[in-house]
Structure 1
Amino acid sequence: MRIGLVVDSACDLPSEYLQAHDIHLLPVTVRIGEAVLTDHRNPEATLHFLQTHLAERGFEAETTPFTVQQVRDLFVSQLAIDYDYVFCMTITKTRSPIYDNANQASFAILNDYKPVRMAAGNNTPFALRVIDSQNLFAAQGILPVEAVRLRDAGEGAPKIRARLENLALHTQGYLIPRDLNYIRARTRVRGDRSVSLLSATLGTMLDIKPVLHCNRGETGPVAKIKGFETAAQKLFEHCGKRVRGGLMTPTMCLSYGGELEEMRALPGYERLRDTCREHNVELFEAVMSLTSMVNIGKGGVAAGFAAEGGSKFED
């Protein structure tokens, strides 16, 4: 059985990994004023965005995912020919309509694929499963990496589906924004009142950085730490502790809103890298996607792994 994998632009995995393992992309369009950019998970394009005046106005961005029709067209015209079963893994549906659009499109896809496959000389059935990762950004990388491992090991679609749906429940995502005023402005544009003017102003004055945690689609602060570098160090230490305690998959995903060398220079990074190596955990590092960047802001850091035990964070 030919198994295909699809993620959306917000999934912060290295573009080289996506290409090497034939992971297809549902791109997101980002509009800032008159500028329109399509997020194809191109790190060079994202870094160029950071070097322009548009980055300062990123909080104004309007993000537009593939419509139901666009998802349907992609699958019917290409993926339903190239594969027999496709897993489409999306950002949490609590933060984006991508899951709902893909899920709605799946009904049309399963009604429309037969003539296309028959014309390509394939009379076997086609199946599609849309999976809500229940997480975002770096943490979205956990499911596709595991899907690649299982596919390469020759596992069938039912086992892969059950494994991915279980992992989604236990994927832990963490975010640390560098600029609270940016986050506040962004949440206001999105109609989210989770960061108030008072908390953003006080946090900026006192240099307090929140550590945000996402699991099962719910996002909220689990720590408030003085200084971005100290907060990043505490996050890396927390990730290392979870690695030593045992993860559900041998995968740790990190992403950063800028040059990766900046992230690697943060305190605690080298120790986390060494801990992953010692415990045979593969460490993925990616420049944040444009989609992630406009939501977190320049210089933010994100991490993701799969482990039981919830969001307890020792600061």
Structure 2
Amino acid sequence: MRIGIVVDSTCDLPPAYLASNDVGILPISVRIGDELRVDYRDEADTLAFLHSHIAERGASAETIPFGVEQIRDLFLQRLVVDYDHVFCITVTKTRSQIFENAQQASYAILNDYRPVRSAAGHNTPFALRVIDTQNLFSAQGVLPVEAVRLRAAGDGPGRIRARLENLALHTYGYLVPRDLYYIRNRARHKGDRSVSLFSAALGTALDIKPVLRGWRGDTGPVAKLKGFDPAVRALFEFAARRVSAGLLTPTLCLCYGGELDEMRAMPAYEALRAACADRNIEVFESVMSLTGMVNVGKGAVCVGFAAEPHEFG
């Protein structure tokens, strides 16, 4: 059986990995002022955006996921011919419309695929399953990496689906933002009042950086530390301890809102890489997606992995 895997463009995995493993992308459009960019996980394009004056207006940007008809057309044009079963793995539905759009599109696809497949010489059924990662950014990458591994091992759709749905419940994403004012302005633009001006001003004045956690569709702070570098050090040291304690998949994903060499020079980065090497954990590093950077600002650091329930610290 030919099994396809599709992610949305907020999934922070290296573009070379996605291409070499034939992982498709559902793009997201970003509108800033009069300019519209489509996020296809092109790191050069993302960095060009970061270094342009447009990035200064990112807090007021509008992110536009593929609509139901666009997703339907994408699948009917290629995927229903190239594959027999497709897993569409999305950002958490609590933060984006992508999951719901893909779910709605799946009903139309399953009603309309037969003539398309028949014309291509395929008379067998087609199946599509939409999976909510219940997470964001680099933490989204854990599930498609596992799907690729299971597909390569010859596992069938039923086993892959059960594994991914269980893994989503045990995937954690931790992020340290660099600019609280940006987070506050972005939240305000989207109608989210959870980050007040006072909190942003106080945090900036005292150089307090939160560590934010994504888990089971919920996002919120789990620690507040003084200084960006100390916060990143604490995050990387914590991640190294989780690696040493044992992860549920041999995968750790990192993303950064900027040049990756900047992240690699941060405190405790080398120690985290060493801990992963000791445990045979594969590390995936990528520039944060354009969509992600618009939402949390440049310079943010995020780490994702699957593990048993735990507390940050």
- Both structures adopt the same fold (TM-score exceeding 0.5): yes
Partner of residue 5, structure 1: 5
Distance 1:233 1:207 in 2: 15
> Which residue is equivalent to 1:109?
109
CA distance in 1, matches of 2:194, 2:301: 19
Q: Aligned partners of 1:61 and 1:152: how far apart in 2?
A: 39
Deviations 1:72-99 (A, max 9, x none): 0011110000000000000000000000
| TM-score, normalised via structure 1 length | 0.99
Question: Does the alignment pair 1:21 with 2:21?
Answer: yes
Q: Matched residue of 1:10: which SS?
A: coil
Q: Does 1:313 align with 2:306?
A: no
In structure 1, the partner of 2:134 is 134
Aligned counterpart, 2:86: 86
CA–CA distance in 2 between the matches of 1:37 and 1:290?
9
**Matches of 2:167 and 2:57 in 1, distance apart?**
36
1:197-246 Cα distance to aligned partner (Å, 9 max, x none):
11100000000000000101000000000000100010001110000000
Rounded Cα–Cα distance in structure 2 between residues aligned with 1:300 and 1:136: 13
Aligned equivalent of 1:55 = 55
Per-residue CA deviation, residues 148-207 of structure 1 (Å, 9 max, x unaligned), is: 000000000000000000000000011111000000000001111111111100000000
Which residue of structure 2 aligns with residue 238 of structure 1? 238
Counterpart of 1:250 in structure 2: which amino acid?
P
Q: Distance in 2 between matches of 1:250 and 1:195?
A: 35
SS in 2 for 1:155: coil
Q: How does 1:145-160 map to 2 (within 5 A)?
A: 145-160=145-160
In the other structure, the counterpart of 1:265 is: 265
CA distance in 1, matches of 2:78, 2:118: 13
Match of 2:293 in 1: 293
Structure 2 residue aligned with 1:41: 41
Letter in 2 for 1:307: A
* Alpha-carbon separation, structure 1, partners of 2:251 and 2:228: 25
Residue deviations 1:25-73, cap 9 Å, x none? Answer: 0000000000110000000001000111111111111000000000000
Amino acid at match of 1:156: G
Q: Give the aligned length.
A: 313
How far apart, CA to CA, are the structure 2 residues paired with 1:212 and 1:113? 41
Between the aligned partners of 1:177 and 1:83, the Cα distance in structure 2 is 39
Residue equivalent to 2:204: 204
Runs of at least 4 residues off by over 6 Å: none
- Secondary structure (helix, strand or coil) at the match of 2:294 reads helix
Cα separation, 2, equivalents of 1:92 and 1:215:
9
Amino acid across the alignment from 1:32: I
Q: Percentage identity across aligned positions?
A: 66
SS in 1 for 2:194: coil
Unaligned runs of 5+ in 1: none
Deviations along 1:126-167, one digit per CA (max 9) or x if unpaired, are 000000000000000000000000000000000000000000
How far off is 1:3 after superposition? Answer: 0.2
Instruction: Give the residue type in structure 2 aligned to 1:215.
Output: W
Unaligned residue ranges in structure 2 (runs of 5+): none
Question: How far apart are residue 309 of structure 1 and its match?
Answer: 1.3
In the alignment, the residues of structure 2 paired with residue 177 and residue 186 of structure 1 have an alpha-carbon distance, to the nearest angstrom, of 12
The secondary structure found in structure 1 opposite 2:169 is helix
Separation in structure 2 between the aligned mates of residue 296 and residue 285 of structure 1, nearest angstrom: 18
Whether 2:172 is the aligned partner of 1:192: answer no
User: AA paired with 1:150?
Assistant: L
Structural RMSD (CA): 0.5
What amino acid maps onto 1:134 in structure 2?
Answer: Q
